[in-house]
Amino acid sequence: MILKKIRLKILKFYRSFSRYLPVNFKKILYNLLNYEERYNFKGWRMATHHAVPWEDSIENKIFLQAHSFIKNKFELTKALGITRDYLDELLWRHWVISYAIRYVIEFTENKNLNLVECGVGDGLTVYFALNELKEAQNLGSIFNFIMHLYDSWQAMRSQDFLTTEKKQVGRY
């Protein structure tokens, strides 16, 4: 909030005195005032001017291929609010999934993995996970994996709960 106030004061100053300022100073001031518009990533309620972790890394090849496939060929459920344009805003979320799977593969001693995803929805995050797992299996980093997927496509019913859990009725 304070930075926004400072930015507005500088902008007011800039507009009032811009004709008297040297050209180089005008360019620097303009770039500072418009800095927040030049994000390297903006989405999922996050924004950064810094380099994103999935760029310039051979480790992220599978992640980027999965993103491209989903963006171009996946059938998305509009009722869930996911559109092709919104997929770019989910990049950070999906990168975290891919990175977490690679981390598990690298640091687990068990080469037979059992994984679970609850709340699968359209299957976007599990698609990233499965692509990383399949690549690791092809490279011999893991031998086998089982992925258990769960989702609720209707609201929960009161007869399925204990008395202490009744506040969950109607939720997904």
- Encoding tokens for residue 22? 């040297």
3-state secondary structure of 81: coil
The beta strand positions in the chain, using DSSP E, are 41-43, 46-48, 112-118, 144-150
The answer to whether 95 touches 60, Cβ cutoff 8 Å, is yes
pLDDT in tens, 153-163: 777 777 877 88
* CA nearest to 146, candidates 155, 137, 154, 159: 137
The answer to whether 49 touches 40, Cβ cutoff 8 Å, is yes
User: What are residue 55's phi and psi, to 5 degrees?
Assistant: -90, 150
Residues 66 and 135: their CA atoms lie apart, in Å, by 12
Q: Which residue has the higher pLDDT, 12 or 142?
A: 142
- Encoding tokens for residue 134? 């399949």
Residues 96 and 128: their CA atoms lie apart, in Å, by 10
User: Which residues, other chains included, contact 172 with Cβ-Cβ below 8 Å and sequence gap of 6+?
Assistant: 119, 152, 154, 155, 156
Residues 124 and 145: their CA atoms lie apart, in Å, by 18
Structure confidence at residue 132 (pLDDT): 96
pLDDT in tens, 32-85: 666 556 678 888 888 887 889 998 778 899 999 999 999 999 888 777 778 888
Confidence (pTM): 0.71
* CA nearest to 131, candidates 169, 168, 87, 94: 94
* CA nearest to 148, candidates 126, 119, 117: 117
